[in-house]
Structure 1
């Protein structure tokens, strides 16, 4: 407000001097205008520097007159103000943590747990469930005496209230003993070839060949037992003739001679695709 009044006064003075110069000597209007502009700038500069000094002088005078607070009391007041500000900041921080940060973290953790349970197939953990034995056994509880209730342990009470599913109460059936493991035994091998004796060779898938002599009267399943003893199970492998290639049918009632092996023969062990 003071600056506005100063500028208005300066403008009025400039107009006054310009009017006076134009009335007396119109040629000196420009000169007077420059002089007053310079005067106004000097006055503005002086006012801008003097005003802060005057205000500071007034404040120091008031403090010397006894309006200021003693230094010790001032420090105590500043300390109390700082403590109060710290308490306010702590309250704001605790309010932010309790009402914003913690609910946000809990909701984030809950979403992660729900996603984890759904991905691992444990979504039943997200349900509230129900209490086992709730509402069961009220009639038996009413018939019990007070002494029995007092003497009953919590474990017995829970056992009495519990109602297990039928699968849990059903007696476990006795398992039949497994069948005895078959022990493969081959008949004695004839020492020398002769009548009623043939030599059979088995060619393995690896290319290795095994030879053995049998009596023609032996059961044809002896060849299968020999193959299994070499490490080739009859479920996955079978015996085939070389030429013509055909599968050898092994039966209990047939002997080696009955299945067509009447001389020294080479059989191939091959995978059974049938």
Structure 2
């Protein structure tokens, strides 16, 4: 019940009480009692209406979803498109950073690990570029040059020409393989005996006994026979680390080997060779 209805109810009740009093239907005391009861009834009705409205607002949703207007829909679409464009820019920046920084860094770390692995296993030849088999740099006359001719066919043709001209064919003399023969190991109780250990890049360690009076070049022969050619590898002392002095007229004692020693087989620095 609204305030207007309450006012109307009060006016009607007051008029009814005044008319009843004028016509002596009821007395003054009864009229006042009737008015009081009416006011009490009005207060009770007003309180019930107030409580009902509060309960209705409590159980009903707080806000209702407003219908989407065309302006609001266009604004939402623009915000969504701006969000998508920003996400695409972030994705492009992430992919560019991965291509320019992360992948080269990972490739560099992988190459360093592979290089370290090949050096530890003694397979440093895998780190070189190598050369093309069958690549020949020979000059030919313009009449004899054939682009589609293979090196084997070219060699056969030259051999036929030499046979027809009576030129003896030079046979390649096979190179004699040098056999490394080390002297027998002396007995442990022999005077001047030292035990030398070679720590190889592959991780293994080999031992052998030598005499101090023997030439230091025997260590190079021993290293080469173990699979490490002196052209690529060298011998270094453990501590202090320095290359071992080796020459034909230098024996082991002159090289500084006076007791049992451990030598490291290390790869030569290409810049110093």
TM-score under structure 2 length normalisation: 0.37
Higher Rg of the two aligned structures:
1
TM-score under structure 1 length normalisation: 0.37
Structure number with the higher helix fraction is: 1
